[in-house]
Amino acid sequence: MDERTAIAVTAVRAVETTDRARTVLTDADRAWASRAAAEVVGASATPASFIGRRALLALERLAERRHRVARLASAWRWRPWVGGAVIAAAFVVGVAANEIGGAKRVNILYSPVAPLVLWNVVVYALLAARFVVRYGEAAGPGPIERTLARLAGGLRSAGRRDDEAVVTFTRAWTATAASTYAVRAARILHFAAAALALGVIAGLYLRGLGLEYRATWESTFLDASTVRSLVAVFYAPGALVTGIAVPGVAHVAAIRAPDSENAATWLHLMAATLAAVVVVPRVLLALVAAGIERYRTARLHDDLDDPYFQRLLRGFKSGAIAVDVVPYSFAVSAQSVASLELLLARALGASVTTKLAAAVAYGDEDTLADLPSGSTVVALFNAAATPEREAHGRFLANLANARRSLVVVVDEAAVNERWGGDPVRRAARRELWREFALNNAHALVFVDLANPDLDTAEAAFDAALR
């Protein structure tokens, strides 16, 4: 999943998980996005392809409605030209900052090359030290990750309806992409450092073509022997690359200010030293960072085991889902059926067709010859009843023999109506049903179908279906 798609997935997920009333993206919007994505990618597509395409379609709809999350997702999207502009600016600065001096003299001890080389050597030492110290350990958050975390943590609601989605998206995306952004920044900075050095080299030669620069040196404390030792070390990489030997002590002594010589030899040594110490290592580091960045951006959302993704994938894998609801020993009201249909549509994340079978009477557990043929079966119990192994248990066992996805739902409407939602009695009743479910190896979904808490029930359905 590429970065653009991963941003869309994170944004749409933030909206869908916080829009509990489903007013921003309605049930119809969500069903359309799933259906359209399945048609575009085809039945043989990977789960990631379906999830990504669906998110892109849903994000387009959010953008049409000028939702803040859509605008924020667009703002977070990386523009490659930004990196190119930074690198180009670094080159221009290198060329412009290469003014050697009004007297057209090159100080071989302190030239424009010296601070640049020393700074890069310090950077390499810090990178090496960090690698050695943290080798074998999980990498902690760097400055970029910490900055993004503070940005996400500092975002607070301003009273708008979609602020929760904005905060959720910002925090989720920064957590997902912080390490990618960090290595991207490293790539750009490495290329920019190389471009800066190339700009300095270009400036040296461009000015040298039209002007004659004179090489000299001066010092209050150093003599010619010490200066020669220093420049021999400093320009050793350039001497190695070009084959130009660093002049000896007598030569160095002869150009001490106010004396000087044509600076061509020293310019070649400076340029080659910059290339060897700055340009080549920085380009190599940038290429390594680019490889890591490419690997990470392609895998921003590889883990699709989250219940949210699994809910979406059920519809993609199964298409239109036929769900058969089989009540046991009680009549189900039309309102309860409507609540159950809404809950199933949310939990299964697909186009769901619900068929209510005739209630199985107490004692008729073995008369399931006309068991419906849907892909999923819901065994519906009344929480007010006391579960019995020989009755309720046999009913479940017969449904399970159909070898289809089986979800056990316990309707608490009658219990809540009778006892006014007494938490003690409700807890005791739930414990009876939990023990029954444990003995029959099934997960339970408790829901008051007369007044359903859809978020809680949806989470319970996710757990049961897994």
Joined together, the tokens standing for residue 25 give 């993206």
What pairs with residue 444 in β-bridges? 408
**Rounded CA gap, 444 and 119, in Å?**
64
* Terminal-residue alpha carbon distance, the chain: 24
Domain residue ranges in the chain: 3-78, 80-297, 320-465
**Rounded CA gap, 276 and 235, in Å?**
10
pLDDT of residue 101: 47
pLDDT of residue 83: 92
pLDDT at 6 over 70: yes
- Which homologous superfamily does the CATH classification assign to the domain defined by 320-465? P-loop containing nucleotide triphosphate hydrolases (3.40.50.300)
pLDDT at 148 over 60: no
Residues 6+ apart with CB under 8 A from 154: none
pLDDT digits (tens, 9 = 90+) for 287-298: 999 999 999 888
Name the amino acid, one letter, at 44: S
pLDDT of residue 197: 94
322 and 355 Cβ atoms separated by less than 8 Å: yes
Element (H, E) at 286: helix 280-297
pLDDT at 90 over 90: yes
Element (H, E) at 215: strand 214-216
pTM equals 0.73
pLDDT at 133 over 50: yes
pLDDT digits (tens, 9 = 90+) for 344-355: 877 776 567 788
pLDDT digits (tens, 9 = 90+) for 324-338: 888 988 888 888 888
pLDDT digits (tens, 9 = 90+) for 429-455: 889 988 888 887 787 888 888 888 877
pLDDT at 372 over 60: no
Distance (Å) of CA 465 to CA 46, 307, 406, 460 = 21, 10, 8, 9
- Residue 157: pLDDT band (50, 70, 90) is very low
pLDDT of residue 421: 66
pLDDT of residue 158: 43
Instruction: For the chain, give the mean pLDDT.
Output: 84
